[in-house]
Structure 1
Amino acid sequence: MKTKWLYKMNFLKIIYLGFFLILGGCTKMFEEEQNLYFNFRVEENTKLPNLNVNLYTYDSESGSKWYGLVKKQTVIKKGQYLEQELKSINSDWHALYIYNGDSSKFMYDDHIFRGAIYHLTYIFKIDGLLTQSRITRSEHGGDDEFFMKYKELEDAEQKGFNYYNPIDARYEINDIQPDNLNTLKKMTFDELKNVDKILAKDIFKLNQLTLEQKKALAEIHQHKQFKIPVD
């Protein structure tokens, strides 16, 4: 009888161990990072002395559902690239702001494959932008996917070029999006006390609150924290 009981207990231990190993593997799978490698260059035998390009990389994991993260860095200045290769981890999407004389253009790319490795090359030409992409779906190997195409550029709202030193580039909290601000404007004071962190400057935009409520809410939220990656 005792032998059967021990056998049953050992069998249950094996089942539980297998369950936790599977659960741990699934958790790791969902936590896999994208690794992004960027290269920028001007087409060979081409001179674009007025070309300036800023790279913005975005991450949604800020620790607050109301804000995203953005890292800004200049990658081409006066036609010369500043870094031969840049690396970013776990960026959800990125954008290029392209300034060439009086022209201000914009483009963005999504990173839809979790746990993938992206090698992204942007080649600036007189008549546009050519991209070469190589995507490995898994860090542990697998078939690569290759893409080469001209990117459609849109007019950018940001008209003036600002220089962002890539050496000093760090993730920072991005401005709140209008949809998120509108959601907050529909909430009561008591509801707002318990949501993810809100910046004081945005709390004072919530016109459904009295001035005293705004001050009290700002005091509550100043003790809440963002989660900003270090890279």
Structure 2
Amino acid sequence: MISESFAEGSSWIHGIDPRLRATGAVAYAVVVAVSYDFKALFVALVLSLFLALSARLDWRAVGRRLMAPAVFLLLLWAVLPWSYEGDALAALGPLTVTRQGVTLCAQISLKTVCLMLAFMALVATMTVDTLGHALNRLRLPDKMVHLLLITYRYLFVIEQEYQRLVRAMKIRNFHPKTNLHSYRTYAYLVGMLFVRASERARRVHNAMICRGFNGRFVSLREFPPNPRNQLFAIGFSFFLVLLATLEWMK
């Protein structure tokens, strides 16, 4: 269900402390999101490409993950340039393309690509459980971390229950159609899935209490100090300051 192919690499990005990567990704997202100057956005694009290359990501997988935002961006380019008020740039029949509309589309497109590449290089290169324990070390609320880790763990269990119910429907010769029987059957499927998920949650909760769960997950993961962590922190902070300076100088 959840692909973690990027987390299996051995680049120097993979060796950086997950806490630094998570913090850097959030700070980078904030800076890029509030940037509108094209110089700053192009510098951010170069930095994102550098991070993706350094993480040795599979570019075919990167392309597949960029398809979803690409569809959104195509819709944006199809609507916003002629519906946004501003100075006329070109006329396509009865439609007028505005300079401000094209500029806004370009800014949104650059921001989307920058953030997607950066998060794939910094966050997708760690497993979900590593991310959860890193967030816990960053003093995020325990309940949020527990919710992330348990959701990640039991999504696969719920998916197995769903597949079991679907197989049972197929064994009983169910063929989906656009009729009331099919709608009722799918409603029963969703209801049974919730019932089984609730029952599994109750059993898991009781099992955790029996094992002495006191509200905290004990992690055996260690994030030892590494000289590359300091270099990454200094270099990444420099680029964040550079982006902020370019935007401020605008």
Greater fraction of residues in strand:
1
Q: TM-score, normalised by structure 1?
A: 0.21
Higher relative contact order (CA 8 A, sep 6+): 2
Judging by fraction of residues, say which structure has more helix.
2
TM-score by length of 2: 0.20
